[in-house]
Amino acid sequence: MIEVDRLTKNYGLARALKGISFSVKRGEVVGFLGPNGAGKSTTMKVLTGYLLPTSGRAQIAGHDVVDESLEVRRRIGYLPESTPLYSEMRVDEYLRFCAEIRGVTAVRRVTAIDRAVQLCGLSRVTGKNIVELSKGYKQRVGLAQAIVHEPEVLILDEPTSGLDPNQIVEVRNLIERLGKEHTVILSTHYLQEVEKSCTRVIIVSQGDIVADDTRDHLVASLPAIAVRARIIGPEDDVRSQLAELFVNRKIAIVIGENSVLNCTIEIGEGNAPAEAALAHLVVKNNWSLLELSRERATLEDVFRRLTMQASVEALHA
């Protein structure tokens, strides 16, 4: 549904995109992650025909975004970072207007608007002026205009930017529902949105793609970062012997209920896993071991490592 081949975009001497390539299959929900200034919004704007690329090609459903711009726009729904709403219009008027300019026929228009209203949870506010709505409801109206013509592809650029925590959860749940009916590419720097809604993750930094895989594969690419243990034993002895056994590793011990010691031992670069040595220490001292597990890396750890590495390489280039 989306095919990007060696896409570049320059703003004068600044190079926002450096020849990126990726594809998105029908039915996928792809998170397009990156720090501010990484090239996320530029990519979205090129895909929607809002910006012309400097070089390279992009296609939506087999149609070139430059040569067949109108065909591309018929097949996409776009929610830009700043939601484009006519605040003086009522919600129902605005959606009717969007359906008309999107080419939805009069026969289908009522059904299409009703579908968008139901999917986006707007039934209670269709008769209100947009200016009266909360930021969360305005964002829902923006999503409704993006799907009113039932596009094959949804392109969402920072859809939860500026929302409060409750509104963010509502919009994330809505995106998850939309992902069951559309191919979605979601540009964001909020990792929780990707973990909640996306089947695949593309990470960009400094105008380059630095990762493209499922969330689980990306997380599995990093080793475990810590070993956690719950131990019952003399606190002073546990502290001193863990420090002696695991020299130069960060160790945290928190006393929990019933005097259980919740221990965390960091696994640094080049350090061997600590489970066997820790279990042996517990047995030798006749302590009680209630739990022993590894703390896996998170998507945030992957994101930080890859984007920081790309930034360092760019500085030295």
pLDDT of residue 241: 93
The strand pair at 153-157 and 76-79 is best described as parallel
Question: Using the 8-state DSSP alphabet, how is residue 51 labeled?
Answer: S
Q: List C-alpha distances in Å: 256 to 44, 259, 299.
A: 48, 6, 28
Q: Is pLDDT at 316 greater than 80 in this prediction?
A: no
Q: In which element (H, E) is residue 114 found?
A: helix 106-119
Kindly report which listed range (23-37, 202-216, 263-277) carries the lowest average pLDDT score. Answer: 263-277
> If you count DSSP H runs as helices and E runs as strands, how many of each does the chain have, helices first?
11, 14
Average pLDDT over residues 132-156: 91
Residues in Cβ contact with 145 at an 8 Å cutoff, skipping those fewer than 6 apart? 77, 94, 95, 98, 116
Q: List C-alpha distances in Å: 156 to 48, 147, 193, 196, 262.
A: 11, 11, 12, 15, 42
Residues in Cβ contact with 216 at an 8 Å cutoff, skipping those fewer than 6 apart? none
292 falls in which pLDDT band (50, 70, 90)? very high
Total-model pTM? 0.78
Tell me the sheet residues that pair with 17: 9
Average pLDDT over residues 61-86: 91
Q: Is pLDDT at 317 greater than 60 in this prediction?
A: no
pLDDT of residue 69: 93
Q: Is pLDDT at 151 greater than 90 in this prediction?
A: yes
pLDDT of residue 111: 95
Domains recognised in the chain with CATH numbers? 2-220 (3.40.50.300), 226-295 (3.30.70)
